[in-house]
Chains A and B, each alone.
Chain A
Amino acid sequence: MSRIDEVFETLTYLEKEKGEGVSATDIASILETDRSNISRYLNILYRKGKLEKIDGRPVLYKSIKDNNKKIYDKNVHLVDTNNSLDKMVGSAQSLDVPIQKAKAAIMYPPKGLHTLLLGETGVGKSMFAELMYQFAIESKTISGDAPFIKFNCADYVDNPNLLNAQIFGVKKGAYTGAHKDKEGLLTQANNGFIFLDEIHRLPPQGQEMLFTYIDNGFFRPLGETEKVVYVDVRIIAATTENPNSHLLKTFTRRIPMIITLPPIRERTLYERYMLIENFIKEESRRIGKSIYINKNSIISYLLYDCPNNIGQLKSDIQLACAKAFLKYKSGDEDYIFINQGDLPNHVRKGILQINEYRDEVDELLNSTYDILKFNQYEEPPLPLNINIDDETSDFYTVIEKKFESLKKSGMNEQDINEIMNVDIESHFKKYIGYIYRRYDKSKISKVVDEEILQVVEEILLLAQKYLEKEFDEKIYFGLSLHLERSIERIKNGEKIYNPRLNFIRINYEQEFLFAMKIAKIIDNKFCIETPVDEIGYLAMFFATDSNKMDKETNTKVGIVVVMHGRSTASSMVEVANSLIGVEHAVALDMPLSMKPKIMYELTKEKVQQIDEGKGVIMLVDMGSLTTFGDMIWEETGIEVRTIERASTPIVLEVLRKAVMGYNLDEIIEVLDENSFHREDMLIDKVNKNVIITACFSGDGASKKLQSILNSTLLNKNIDIMTINIIDEEKVETRLHRLSRQYNIIAIISTVHIDIEHIPYISAIEILHGKGIEKLQQIIDEESMYLKISESLTEHLTSIDGEEITKDIKYLIHILENRLEIEVISDVKMGIILHISFLVDNILNGISPRSFENLDVYRDSYWREMNIIKESFAFIEQKYEVFLGEDELAYILKLFLLNQISV
Chain B
Amino acid sequence: MLMEDAARNAAQKKRGSATLKLMRTNYSLYIMLLLPLAYFITFRYIPMTNIVVAFKDYSIFKTVWESPWAQTGGSLDLFKYFKQAFKSAEFLRVLGNTITLNFLDLAFGFFFPVILALLLNEITFRKFKRFTQTVLYMPHFLSWIIIYGMAAQIFAPQSGVINIMLRNIGLGPIHFLDDKLLWIFTYVFLGIWQSAGYNTIVYLAAITGINPELYEAAEVDGAGRLRKIVHITLPGIRQTIVVMLILNMGRILQISFDRPYALGNTLVRSVADVISTYVYRVGIVAQQFSLTTAVGLFQSVVCLIFLIGANIITEKLGEKGIW
A and B assemble together:
no
Q: Which residues of B contact A (CB under 8 A)?
A: none
Q: Which residues of A contact B (CB under 8 A)?
A: none
